[in-house]
Amino acid sequence: GESVGLHLPTLSVQEGDNSIINCAYSNSASDYFIWYKQESGKGPQFIIDIRSNMDKRQGQRVTVLLNKTVKHLSLQIAATQPGDSAVYFCAENREGSGNTGKLIFGQGTTLQVKP
Amino acid sequence: DGGITQSPKYLFRKEGQNVTLSCEQNLNHDAMYWYRQDPGQGLRLIYYSQIVNDFQKGDIAEGYSVSREKKESFPLTVTSAQKNPTAFYLCASSPLGTYNSPLHFGNGTRLTVT
């Protein structure tokens, strides 16, 4: 399954399939990007980050791709599991200062995993 | 077990009352932040502090106040001047000047003002 842009709020995928969540960021000067996962009633949980000097970074079952030309970020989740169901936010740091806390967040995509 | 503690989890207040949300961290992070989240929305920055006794306004500081008297603590006061105070409030912390440790969040306080 795949979401497009910032305006598709929900992505529904079958358990075991790969998921792709997309995000468009706003500031060409941003040099640090993060994906967070938020479960209902909890704070966002860090998934993976990437600096602007990289195009791709892999974690455990997750990959982040950065396309600076079109200011686009994506999160790929391999073999999606029911525990992956949550809201996923992309975020960019706003000043390129190395300060990782002053972030601009997207509106989020809800990932629903069907058993 | 290091982390950020926000209390209480749920808070109810009458309109016109000030209310203070607590945030404590034992991660030894220099910087602390308050974000606000509305239903179906991303997070927006209210205030942040990079050092004790100093803090700066974020994007939506009007109607809020903070203090940073200790490194571990960054309480947020929602004043009666805040027009739409009902929201989910998230406190976070991070080290400064490094890309190696991203922003770490608490589990939030849900404030309802009626």
Decide if A45 touches B, using CB distance below 8 A: yes
CA distance B24 to B6: 7
> Which amino acid belongs to residue B17?
Q
The answer to whether A36 and A104 have CB atoms below 8 angstroms apart is no
The neighbour count for residue B111, using CB atoms within 10 Å, is 21
The shortest CB-CB distance from A43 to any of B40, B44, B108 is to B108
Decide if A89 touches B, using CB distance below 8 A: yes
The residue among B48, B99, B107 with the most chain A CBs within 10 A of its CB, best to mutate, is B99
Write out chain B's pLDDT in tens, 114 residues: 569 999 999 999 999 999 999 999 999 999 999 999 998 788 999 999 999 999 999 999 999 999 999 999 999 999 999 999 999 999 999 987 666 668 899 999 999 999
> Which amino acid belongs to residue B100?
N
CB contact (8 A) between residue A49 and residue B99: yes
> Which amino acid belongs to residue A68?
K
The neighbour count for residue B5, using CB atoms within 10 Å, is 13
Pairing of strands A32-38, A19-24: unpaired
